[in-house]
Structure 1
Amino acid sequence: MSMNNLAGLVQENREKLKLLLYFAVIIALAYPLATSIGKAWESSHLARSIVRLHYVVGVSRPALNMTILGLFIGLLTLMTLDPKKRIQAALLWLGMIISLVGLLSLGLFLVQINFIAELPWFIGGLILGLVIGGGRKLLQVQTADALEFRRASLGIFFILALIVVVAFVEYHVQYPKIFSVTQSGVQTATTTPSGVGLETSGIFKNALISGLFIVVLGQFVTYDAEHDFFILGPRASGKSLFLIGAYLEALEQTSDSSANTPLNPSNDLVDMMQELDRPESEWIIEATGRGEVNVLSFQFVHGRVFPTNIGLQSIDYAGEYLNRLPDAIADTLPDDSVDSTLERLVDGVETADTLVLLLDLERFMNDEPLEITEYFDILRQADNTGVILVATKADVMAEEFREKRGLEAHRYQDEFRQYINQRLRGSQQVEGLIQETAGTEIYPVYYQTKVNENGDRVPIRDETNSVTTVGYDELLDLLGRRA
């Protein structure tokens, strides 16, 4: 198997491999982490004293333990009902069972408990967990919001992370008693600086185990990717239609998903979609006029095993601004020549984690200038910013691909992408741009089109008046992996 095939196989099954990795981490860490927490409890002072405050309010230790267990199970139950967190919740159920076995082996937590007598405390904790975690959503009629129990996930993260961090500190930091709690009340203790020290035995191993667990747990409760994409393109390069195509693909993917997450499109995007839906329309979306700004945004869910909300937001602007953008970023333009649109573009580039740069294939096929010279200056000034190269209007090359390779572009997308890259790299300017972006691959996207009686290329519409997009599925997957 070649390296390319192996890389493709890994890429195709990355979520399954991620699931396998998380499963291995939970299995490997649950028991040793539970036993180290138990040992930390046995040698603790401050944490033990705080927990013993239940004596002050007249609650027994078994009642407290059952309440805590009920609270955790309530939160975990809601996490299990969350379509985006079911897999993570299943792993946490497994980890919880293993951890309880580890604590029982040390004679801690659920020992010497009359479960029937303490059942009301467990039910009370369970109800509390359901309320805190947002269980009220289960009683509501369907709304525009996705069925997500974020507070439940965050509650689980807070509880487990707090336990792990406190246990690590109690196990390895030696300090004098501050106060103690008994059934007779709270008693303060005198502290001396000489009583502070550090237990270094096993500290690196425990730090590794604790840190790895918290990192994995943090991935479990993540809903939104913190990654900003910003789209740049020359005039009439298809920026509006590019964003509409991405939205249409996300809409189709959402309809096939059980997550049912609303896409929350912006008003400007909805207006454009309304124009595109007109039965008599061909390319009804006109190029954006100078001074006109449209905010186009929506969110989509990336991943099936570990779904994550990916937000896409871009400013649709007149392409003529592109040639002024490098100087505006460098702050070398006179103040009176920088309008609000240019300021928003500068802010978009500077805050973006990844720039999506459009290449107009129609210009390339017509031997017209690509007008991408400004990309080089922008990339030199946008340090540590990722880049994705996208070839728009790739339908103009799909016919050439069919004639030369005998393949349909929409059915052989990998081969078509390779063909596009080979053809575009024949341009010294594009080759230079690829080298500037460390060999970034170009991703073609397009609408399936036909030539009408006037000789104009227009979108093909099916019996439901819908247009068909190609390549956007791979692009959204790429955006999701970059997020």
Structure 2
Amino acid sequence: MEWLQSNQEQVRLLGYLAVMIGLGVPLATLVSRSHDSATQGTLTRFIVESVTGFGPGLVTLEAFGLGGILTLMLLLLFDDKKWAQGILLWIGLGTLTVGFWLSGFVPRIALQLWAHLGHVALGATAALLLVVPRTVWDSVLDLRIPRRREFRRAPKLIYIAVMGSVVLLYVEYHVVYPPVFSPGTIGEATVGVRLDNLFVDSVTAAGFIVVTRKFMQYEAKKTVAFFGKRNAGKSVLAYCAPTDYMNRVARYADVPPLEISQDLYELLGQGEEVLIEDDGSGPQTGEWFIDNNEQNDLEEFSWTIKDGKLFPKNLQIDIRDHAGENLPPFVKALSGVPIDELDRGNPEVIRALLEQVENADTIVLLIDVAALRDPGDSLDAHLYGEIISEYGASKEIVFAATKADLYDSEFRNETGLDPYNVGNFDRFRRFVTRKIQRESNVIATQMRDVGADAVHPVYVRTVEDENGDRVPVVTDDGDLQPFGHVELQERLK
């Protein structure tokens, strides 16, 4: 499972490759049969020949389209983000050609290609003008290699062309048109369906369209929403997650910078004012510089991670930091109670949370370890039940444990390992998962309901001060020392 998680792009590439090769021959057969059917005078020929006196003929349109689609596929090979998909398309075209050869079929345009080279060139020119951005043209004219090569319109145009062509081929063969669609013929209007090869052609057409759409989307986007009770550590999580990612990943890997919301920029700025305390008797500590929100406050802490080499995607992480008092009325609103009838909570905040959860692909439910271990506090895990009931079947549900550093002494005593050593994180995650499932039957049941196998700990390095309170251990620059935040973001990708 871990191997699949770390090599998911390569697995997807092999999967797409297998589909492209597997569908090549049946698609070639569909093209051949549809081509023969179209020579008998059907809808495509009727439409084209009806306007022949005002425009191009069928072969001319095929030549123009051939020049355009081949140019778009060629551009993908030079696209910084879609070169792998470009290779897959050329492999698919090669497989389609082999299928033509095996069936003895020669496309109409191939027999008249030399006579229509001008139309092929026109199609190629039109594709270049439509797709290549001005910045690339300026670089080429200045004899420079473009700094960024992104032909964003090319995948969309290719998908439109592929979908239109496959649907048209499918309809041409399997739908029996009324004779009136045959030029110069008028007869009884009857419509029927040709049933031979219907199942195979349906699977082939649908499969090719779906797979092409999947990997031709220029940038996939995944949105993650976090929910937690009051004082669950949402603000600290919002501060630590992007900084931990930038320090441990972006600094050493060739990845684009994070896109950060204005509220998050302001929050990160607060970390620059941390007061460092060092009396020489232990690790230098700082202060908790993030305050709890008031009931009417709503801050949008969001950042976008651009991830993936073969199949780039944007992971948008969205934490709406709000007073925890809004969580119970939000759950009531989720169950169907009109917002205007709620006796607690801020209506605008509730609406924003409802919009957030509806638009999210993944929901992260925060477990406050401090509340779990304090008999005088409430975990409020029962509130997550409505979220799981509403979205557990349609969205991915992930559990994360904030303030997991409270387990550090128990972990050391049981295993002899340091939870603040990154190499021990997987062992610590299993330890935290087991402890929380034992200490909360509600959480354990909810995890089983959604098929979650782990609780992901997110925490900062802390020590107890002379008053018995947990205070953060900071670096010489005054930064918090976060753990588990990168691993959680990797899990969410």
* TM-score, structure 1 as length reference: 0.83
For residue 136 of structure 2, what is the amino acid of its counterpart? L
User: Does 2:443 match 1:445?
Assistant: no
Partner of 2:174: 172
Aligned equivalents of 1:360, 1:71: Cα separation in 2:
57
Displacement, 1:79?
Answer: 2.8
Displacement, 1:432?
Answer: 4.2
Counterpart selection for 1:69 from 63, 66, 70: 66
Partner of 2:153: 151
Partner of 1:15: 9
Tell me, what secondary structure is at the counterpart of 1:295?
Answer: strand
Tell me, what secondary structure is at the counterpart of 1:316?
Answer: strand
For residue 393 of structure 1, what is the amino acid of its counterpart? K
- Contact 2:368/2:379 (<8 A) preserved: no
Residues 273-284 of structure 1 correspond to what in structure 2 (within 5 A)? 273-278=268-273, 280=275, 282=286, 283-284=288-289
Displacement, 1:268?
Answer: 0.8
- Contact 1:229/1:354 (<8 A) preserved: yes
Displacement, 1:198?
Answer: 1.4
For residue 245 of structure 1, what is the amino acid of its counterpart? C
- Contact 1:38/1:103 (<8 A) preserved: yes
User: Does 2:369 match 1:361?
Assistant: yes
Distance 1:297 1:137, change over 3 A: farther
Distance 1:148 1:448, change over 3 A: farther
- Contact 1:234/1:320 (<8 A) preserved: yes
Displacement, 1:230?
Answer: 2.6
Displacement, 1:422?
Answer: 1.4
Partner of 2:129: 131
Counterpart selection for 1:26 from 3, 20, 23: 20
User: Does 2:303 match 1:307?
Assistant: no
For residue 93 of structure 2, what is the amino acid of its counterpart? M
Partner of 2:107: 108
Partner of 1:192: 188
Residues 275-424 of structure 1 correspond to what in structure 2 (within 5 A)? 275-278=270-273, 280=275, 282=286, 283-330=288-335, 331=337, 334-335=341-342, 337-339=344-346, 340-349=348-357, 352-365=360-373, 369-379=377-387, 382-383=390-391, 384=393, 385-409=395-419, 410-424=422-436
CA RMSD of aligned residues (A): 3.4
Displacement, 1:442?
Answer: 0.8
Displacement, 1:453?
Answer: 8.3
Aligned equivalents of 2:466, 2:213: Cα separation in 1:
58
Identical residues among aligned pairs (%): 27
Distance 1:380 1:212, change over 3 A: closer
Distance 1:276 1:79, change over 3 A: farther
Displacement, 1:61?
Answer: 6.6
Aligned equivalents of 1:54, 1:73: Cα separation in 2:
26
State the Cα deviation string for residues 387-436 of structure 1 (Å, max 9, x = none).
Answer: 21100122332454234313333212221111001111221344344345
User: Does 2:472 match 1:458?
Assistant: yes
Aligned equivalents of 2:49, 2:20: Cα separation in 1:
30
Unaligned runs of at least 5 residues, structure 2: 140-146, 277-285
Paired residues in the alignment total 461
Displacement, 1:358?
Answer: 0.7
Displacement, 1:334?
Answer: 3.4
For residue 402 of structure 1, what is the amino acid of its counterpart? R
Partner of 2:439: 427
Partner of 2:36: 42
Displacement, 1:206?
Answer: 0.8
- Contact 2:368/2:403 (<8 A) preserved: yes
The range that moved more, 128-137 or 45-54, is: 45-54
- Contact 1:250/1:300 (<8 A) preserved: no
Partner of 1:212: 207
Tell me, what secondary structure is at the counterpart of 1:33?
Answer: helix
- Contact 2:222/2:314 (<8 A) preserved: no
Partner of 1:4: none
Unaligned runs of at least 5 residues, structure 1: 1-6, 181-186
Displacement, 1:466?
Answer: 5.1
- Contact 1:290/1:317 (<8 A) preserved: yes
Aligned equivalents of 1:362, 1:136: Cα separation in 2:
56
- Contact 2:400/2:458 (<8 A) preserved: yes
Aligned equivalents of 1:420, 1:76: Cα separation in 2:
49
Counterpart selection for 1:162 from 157, 164, 185: 164
Aligned equivalents of 1:134, 1:319: Cα separation in 2:
49
The range that moved more, 201-210 or 430-439, is: 430-439
- Contact 2:372/2:379 (<8 A) preserved: no
Aligned equivalents of 2:50, 2:244: Cα separation in 1:
56
State the Cα deviation string for residues 261-290 of structure 1 (Å, max 9, x = none).
Answer: x64322111111222244647432222222
Distance 1:259 1:99, change over 3 A: farther
Displacement, 1:174?
Answer: 1.0
Partner of 2:242: 247
Distance 1:237 1:113, change over 3 A: same
State the Cα deviation string for residues 147-166 of structure 1 (Å, max 9, x = none).
Answer: 64332111111101111111
- Contact 2:326/2:345 (<8 A) preserved: no
- Contact 2:179/2:188 (<8 A) preserved: no
Tell me, what secondary structure is at the counterpart of 2:423?
Answer: coil
- Contact 1:54/1:61 (<8 A) preserved: no
Displacement, 1:41?
Answer: 1.5
Displacement, 1:316?
Answer: 0.8
Aligned equivalents of 2:206, 2:252: Cα separation in 1:
37
- Contact 2:459/2:484 (<8 A) preserved: yes
